[in-house]
Amino acid sequence: MASEPGVSEDARAGARAAAGAKLDGRVERGNQTRRLVLRRTVDIASVEGLDALSVGRLATELKLSKSGVFALFGSKEELQLATIRAAGRIFLDNVVEPARQSPPGLDRLWQLCARWLDYSEQRIFPGGCFFYGVIAEFDAREGAVHDALVLADRDWNGQVEGCVAEARDTGELRPDTDVTQLTFELIAFLEAANAHSVLHDKPDAYRRAGAAITARLRGAAADPSLVPQLP
């Protein structure tokens, strides 16, 4: 292609760099706005549900243009799906990843339960556990949002079940431990604490759940002294 008359290669390179910088700046501003919106949507959904999300509401509350918010997501369903993904990342950062720092066995399993109780009690999401609420909202529906929540729930169950299996494989849980049953019971204790605390505004539910989890793990442990007391 012929060069533009009277324009040096350096000038053209500078123009391309300026255009690239401008594009990068727009992309970064878009990413910042997306993060701002999703931080708000996870809080709203944890209290009011995913159906409470709307482009107009978010634009008004965050003082953004409605068209700008719509351009980031394209539809209410995509906004809901992005909110689920954002909540999942927050959950991983506050529960799963810290617990994974402990060695496999009862300590890691105990840490996973303790981190979950703390995550709910500290109201990382103002409505308690984000997933507990929105799964109840969509459990009998069909569609992409329901499917995304099914995957999130399976992943969490898999995390707990994996830790239970590790504890059995290390010999810290008795070899006859029913991994699936124990996983179900531990998650039930966690969810009951969240539901009771949110509904009645009584934090003692977390202490009671901690005591139940400790007793259940000590009952299944090869050496009960290996199970710490949940605070």
Q: What is the mean pLDDT of each run of 10 residues along the chain (231 residues)?
A: 57 56 62 92 97 95 92 94 98 97 96 97 97 96 98 98 98 98 98 97 94 96 88 58
Residue type for 60, please?
T
Q: What is the pLDDT of residue 26?
A: 64
* 7 occurs within a structural domain: no
The count of structural domains within the chain is 1
Question: Residue 177 belongs to what domain range?
Answer: 76-226
* 45 occurs within a structural domain: no
Helical segments of 9-122, H only: 9-48, 55-62, 66-73, 76-91, 97-100, 106-121
* 202 occurs within a structural domain: yes
User: CA torsion angle for 142, 120, 99, 162 (degrees, to 10)?
Assistant: -40
* 54 occurs within a structural domain: no
* 50 occurs within a structural domain: no
* 2 occurs within a structural domain: no
pTM: 0.85
Residue percentage of the chain with pLDDT more than 70 = 87
* 139 occurs within a structural domain: yes
3-state secondary structure of 159: helix
* 141 occurs within a structural domain: yes
The whole-chain average pLDDT of the chain stands at 91
β-partners of residue 221 are 173
CA distance 2 to 223: 80
Q: What is the pLDDT of residue 1?
A: 47
Domain CATH code at residue 182: 1.10.357.10
